Structure 1
Amino acid sequence: MASLSVNWITEKHIDFEYKRYVLLGYLKEVSDNFTGSRLYPSLSELITHYRNVVAIRDNKKNLFNSFPERLTGTDASGTQLNYEKILQDDHLMQEIESIISYAVPLFEQYLKEGKTVYDFIESRLHIFPVGIMPLNADEGYLMLKFGPGQETLVYSFHLTIFENPDEKYRGIATNFVGVWEKSVSNTFENIKLDLIRQFRHMPNPATYVIESELDIPLEETLLPIARRSLVKYVASQLPN
């Protein structure tokens, strides 16, 4: 998979046409991934690149400081090394500004494309709890069933909360447990009971099913979206 360096603007040749070529090549592969419903890691990388470019645009001092320095000598005492920024050319700054002006709307366009795919897939997910729920729903099992088959992928999950002075962030860690075959006689409730028998450290785990009729890539799309959707669902069930 093609990748774009975090410092793609300032590394190698600082030339608008060259950077345009590099960017368009990267974005073409991103678009191909989105068309094939392969969202990750392309979408998260795209968000990072967009934020970086906007930050550079809004704070040119950071851009200047990101350039390497070269040693020019020492001070009169010979104890202090003197450096100067390699970037001293107004033409280079104009090239960089042109690159940024070109890149920002393109990133926004492809982010919109990725979000459209994300929202469509998320809207096709059906989430519901299985059995009696414990008071603490931060740990348990996620059953993932998608496509035309009856295979149900089971993951253990653990929710965490990160706090800063302004707000809380919820994260989720998952581990693959195994594959169960769902059938008329082997319902989601039966699968949960089987999990409890096999893994006794969670006698009454919070258990959720996420179903989708879509047949899409698991690791690149469904699992990342399912994880985020589960975090939102659990948070929505908490008392205000």
Structure 2
Amino acid sequence: MDSLKHDWLTEGLIDYEYKKYILLAYLKNIGSRFNQSELYPFMSDLIFHYRNLIKVKESKKLMYDNFPETLTKADFNKLRLTYDKIVNDDEVMQQIEEIIAFAIPKMKGMLEEGKELFEFVEEHIELEPVGVSPIYSDEGYLFINQDASMDVSIFRYQMTFFEHAEEKYRSMTTEFLMNEIRGISTTFENIKVGLTKRFTELPNPATYLASSRLKFPLNETVLPVAKRMLVRRISVS
């Protein structure tokens, strides 16, 4: 089971053993992914479900307004009606409380495994600028090189900003451009110059190199970790 439904807690049969089976199957898959050094999107999905359960537990009611904004109006109304019925059923609420009490520590333990994997990957990645860094760094290029190989994966990045609950957040979107083979005449600096000539809208682009000393899955692990590292670096510059 790759993911849980957003309403897995209340969807279908609300039974402790049944929900326990669903949760354990989900966590088993997450654990398998972590064992393969694959972090995303599995880590972010796990965080979403864990935080939602915490909110449900703390509020003593089902927080249907915390589900994704992608829900249609019909889906939202269905959830609201379902939850209104549930919160007025003491027997069902007891089942849900037992499920939550079982699920939270299980998810927390899996999150700790994911955190350890993230930190391990991060420890083996070095992030450094390629050439002279311009003042404007909210848009540019990210090079990824693993295990000292000749292969270089090139991404274009752009910082984005959004507000939530009166707080501002910075995130990053990336677009894969190409792979390059590094050589004597094809240094990281030369690759940057080539990009400048090809994409003239960025005449002096901020460019960073994320070098991993070990080999990890690119899209599932190295790229997300490198993006987090780059967001932090740009945010404090």
The TM-score bracket by the shorter chain reads 0.7 to 0.9
Which residue identity does 1:160 align to in structure 2?
T
Q: 2:104 matched to 1:91?
A: no
In 2, Cα distance between equivalents of 1:138 and 1:192: 16
In 2, Cα distance between equivalents of 1:216 and 1:145: 11
The answer to whether the Cα contact below 8 Å between 1:41 and 1:220 also exists between their aligned partners in 2 is: yes
SS in 2 for 1:68: helix
Q: What's 1:75 paired with?
A: none
The answer to whether the Cα contact below 8 Å between 1:67 and 1:86 also exists between their aligned partners in 2 is: no
Structure 1 residues not aligned, in runs of 5+: 70-83
Cα offset, 1:36, TM superposition: 0.5
Q: What's 2:102 paired with?
A: 102
Q: 2:50 matched to 1:37?
A: no
Q: What are the residue-to-residue correspondences of 1:161-240 with 2, within 5 Å?
A: 161-163=161-163, 167-236=167-236, 238=237
Cα offset, 1:202, TM superposition: 1.2
Cα offset, 1:163, TM superposition: 4.5
Q: What's 1:118 paired with?
A: 118
1:18-41 CA-to-partner distances (Å, cap 9, x unmatched) read: 111110010000000001011111
Tell me the number of residue pairs that the alignment of Structure 1 and Structure 2 aligns.
Answer: 224
Could you state the TM-score of these two structures normalised by the residue count of structure 2?
A: 0.87
Q: What's 1:57 paired with?
A: 57
In 1, Cα distance between equivalents of 2:161 and 2:5: 31
SS in 2 for 1:61: coil
Cα offset, 1:88, TM superposition: 4.3
Which residue identity does 1:68 align to in structure 2?
L
In 2, Cα distance between equivalents of 1:63 and 1:175: 35
Which residue identity does 1:28 align to in structure 2?
K
What percentage of residue pairs aligned between the two structures are identical?
42
Q: What's 2:10 paired with?
A: 10
Change beyond 3 A, Cα 1:99–1:165:
closer
Q: What's 1:150 paired with?
A: 150
The answer to whether the Cα contact below 8 Å between 2:34 and 2:114 also exists between their aligned partners in 1 is: yes
Q: What's 2:26 paired with?
A: 26
The answer to whether the Cα contact below 8 Å between 2:86 and 2:92 also exists between their aligned partners in 1 is: no
SS in 1 for 2:62: helix
Structure 2 residues not aligned, in runs of 5+: 66-78
Cα offset, 1:177, TM superposition: 1.4
Which residue identity does 2:192 align to in structure 1?
K
Change beyond 3 A, Cα 1:202–1:64:
closer
Could you state the TM-score of these two structures normalised by the residue count of structure 1?
A: 0.86
Change beyond 3 A, Cα 1:3–1:179:
same
SS in 2 for 1:132: coil
SS in 2 for 1:223: helix
Cα offset, 1:222, TM superposition: 1.2
Whose helix proportion is higher, 1 or 2? 2
Cα offset, 1:185, TM superposition: 2.5
1:39-82 CA-to-partner distances (Å, cap 9, x unmatched) read: 1111000000001111111112336995635xxxxxxxxxxxxx
